[in-house]
Amino acid sequence: MELLEAIILAVLAASTPLLLAASGELLVERAGVLNLGVEGMMIVGAACGFAGAWATGSTLIGALCGIFAGIALSLVFALMTLGLAVNQVATGLALTILGIGVSGLIGAGFVGERISTAPRLYIPGLTTLPFVGKILFGEDGFVYVSIALIVAIWYFLYRTRAGLILRAIGDNHVSAHALGYPVLKIRTLAVMFGGGCAGLAGAYLPLAYTPFFVPGMTAGRGWIALALVVFASWLPGRLVIGAYLFGAVSILQLHAQGWGVGVPSQLMSALPYLATVVVLVLISRTRSGGSTAPAALGTVFVPDR
């Protein structure tokens, strides 16, 4: 029972950055923009988040630094793809290359430094409940934020007028523009939101997951988050399932290495990436009847005047 509790806690911790980054990207893609720079925004968020927390000693300020770093990078992406109508795939790649370089520059001074990890919630009586106590009432703030965030995104997309407009823009920007909706403005806001989420997801890694910064510590999580959005068929509910499933896979491989299963550790480390490929193939295959992707996803829009 205690082992199971430990595993669930670990899975939640491993899933949270994926859920945070993928939630933001889901909203961005629902607005019809494909931002492949999630990995770059995450790694800069990680470096800035660590720098902020290290300088002030506050997890909250660290998290805010991460969010702002992510938004700053996403604005570069918005300027390029929405302002200058540049190809979104190429720009996203550029963002990732730039992000890895920038995070290396910022983080160079912090390698080897340690900070204290984010505090965990503690409610006397509830947190001490057997089994469910720690899982439900003993997490760090990021875990609760990530869940609140995806619920809020679901509510926004399906229960508000603004969400409906955003989905309309993602499906047909020409019609939305003809109806008088500010396509580029709404897309810019969505991209900024996605950037903030990716920055927060990155900041989670050095602030709550491990108490130090390592160059390249996102290790492809940004790319896996992108795959998760496809896996979820752009639906918030399935995104939660997907994120926890992937968190479970990555924890499984860690534990399997710990138990000394007779397979090379590198094969176990490759599991999350291989699982992503398999999942992408399966999910794309079963969807042969027609794509559920936002219809205008990744296409350039230049408003007529």
Partner 1 sequence: MQLVLEKRAERSTVIALISPLIAIGLTIVTMSILFVIIGKNPIAALNVYFITPLTDAYSLQELAVKAAPLVMIAIGLSLCYLANVWNIGAEGQFLVGAVAGSWLAVKTHGTDAGAWVLPAMLLLGAIAGALYALIPAICKVRFGASEILVSLMLVYVADLLLDYLVRGPWRDPAGFNFPTTAEFDPVATVPLLLEGGRLHLGTVIALVIVVAAAVLLGRTIKGFEIRVVGAAPRAARFGGFSSNQLVLLTFAISGALAGLAGIIEVAGPVGHLQPGISPGYGFTAIIVAFLGRLNPVGILIAGLFLALTFIGGEQAQIAMKIPLDITKVFQGILLFYVLACDSLILYRIRLIMPQRKAADGAA
The footprint of partner 1 (CB under 8 A) covers: 36, 76, 80, 83-87, 89-91, 93-95, 97-105, 108, 215, 219-220, 223-224, 226-227, 230, 264, 266-267, 269-270, 273-274, 276-277, 280-281, 283-285, 287-288, 291, 302-303, 305
Q: C-beta of 168: minimal distance to partner 1 in Å?
A: 22
DSSP E strand boundaries for the chain = none
Q: C-beta of 41: minimal distance to partner 1 in Å?
A: 12
Instruction: For helices 59-78 and 183-204, give the axis angle rounded to 10 degrees.
Output: 140
Q: C-beta of 274: minimal distance to partner 1 in Å?
A: 6
- Looking at the Cβ atoms of 147 and 219, the one nearer to partner 1 is 219
Residue 156 burial (C-beta neighbours within 10 Å; 0-12, 13-18, 19+): middle
Q: C-beta of 39: minimal distance to partner 1 in Å?
A: 9
Q: C-beta of 34: minimal distance to partner 1 in Å?
A: 9
- Looking at the Cβ atoms of 47 and 200, the one nearer to partner 1 is 47
Q: Is the backbone of residue 181 left (phi > 0), alpha (psi -120 to 50) or beta? A: beta
Q: C-beta of 13: minimal distance to partner 1 in Å?
A: 21
- Please, which residues have CB within 8 angstroms of residue 82's CB and are 6 or more apart in sequence? 33, 184, 187, 188, 191, 301
Name the nearest CA neighbour of 29 among 153, 146, 161, 142.
153
- Looking at the Cβ atoms of 89 and 162, the one nearer to partner 1 is 89
Q: How many Cα atoms sit within 13 Å of 185 on the Cβ side?
A: 7
Q: C-beta of 152: minimal distance to partner 1 in Å?
A: 26
- Looking at the Cβ atoms of 108 and 162, the one nearer to partner 1 is 108
- Looking at the Cβ atoms of 60 and 270, the one nearer to partner 1 is 270
- DSSP letters along 221-289, please? HHHHHHHHHHHTTT-HHHHHHHHHHHHHHHHHHHHHHHTT-SS-HHHHHHHHHHHHHHHHHHHHHHTTT
- Looking at the Cβ atoms of 62 and 222, the one nearer to partner 1 is 222
Q: Give me the residues paired with residue 140 across strands.
A: 120
- Please, which residues have CB within 8 angstroms of residue 255's CB and are 6 or more apart in sequence? 7
- Looking at the Cβ atoms of 205 and 224, the one nearer to partner 1 is 224
